[in-house]
Structures are given as structure tokens and as C-alpha cells.
Amino acid sequence: MKIISPREFLDVVLIKHDEDGTIASLATHVDHPLCPPQPNYVRGLNYPCGCFCIPAPGDPSKTQLLSFFQTDLGGNLPQTVVESFFPSNITGFYSSLAKAVVKLVA
């Protein structure tokens, strides 16, 4: 039935470093003629989303995180599949984000 097919997303991303040490990563879905949907993949869609890594006041070894995401995985996935997929995917995302922030500020 191919209920769970590979996904692809096409986003434009802006990464901004502010003078106060805040790092913002902002993204949204785009369509582009040079990147048409690929066979055997379902094109997902990320609505405007982002993460703000804000230095914690008084403690340079800590960062406050504000993030917002809204994703449409595309296709005809049952809600139970979506709900079982996202927690582990988000956990992996935040783990990768923590490693990336350490590299950016080092």
C-alpha cells in the first residue's frame, strides 16, 4: 500500500546572528521550477517556522530555545501514524540542534 513513503521538503532558510548573541533559523516552503517533486517521494510542506536560540541572561553556558513548526507531511497518512512519527523525529531534531549551536558559538 506504500502508506509510508519517503518525504521531501523544499524550503528557503534564513539564519541570522544578532549582536546580542541570538541565533534565528527561519524557514518556509517554496516552489521552484528547478526542483520539481521527485518520483517515489511525497512532497511535504513546511509552513513558516523557525527556532530562536537566545543567550540566557547571566549564564553564557545556557541558551533559551523558542521554536515553532507546522508541517504537512503530504500524502494520505492516518493521524495515528503522524502522531507516532513526530515525537521521535522532534527529539532527533533537538539533539541535532544542540550540537549545531555548540559548533556555531564555539
| Digit-coded pLDDT (tens) for 15-32 | 999 999 999 999 999 999
- Name the DSSP class of 5: -
Integer Cα distance of 21 and 64 in angstroms: 11
Q: Which domains does the chain have, with CATH numbers?
A: 7-105 (3.30.530.20)
Range 30-59 average pLDDT:
93
User: Which range is least confidently modeled, 4-18, 24-38, 43-57, 77-91?
Assistant: 77-91
Q: Kindly indicate the confidence band of residue 1, based on its pLDDT and cuts at 50, 70 and 90.
A: very low
Q: Is 51 exposed, middle or buried (0-12, 13-18, 19+ CB in 10 A)?
A: buried
User: Would the pLDDT of 2 be above 60?
Assistant: no
User: With 90 as the cut, is the pLDDT of residue 94 above it?
Assistant: no
Region 57-77: mean pLDDT is: 86
Confidence (pLDDT) at 89: 79
Count of all residues that appear for the chain in the document: 106
The three three-digit cell numbers of residue 100, written as one number: 549545531
Looking at residues 97-105, what average pLDDT do you find? 78
Region class of 60: left (phi > 0), else alpha (psi between -120 and 50), else beta: alpha
Residue 77 near residue 4 (C-beta atoms within 8 A): yes
Rg (CA), the chain: 16
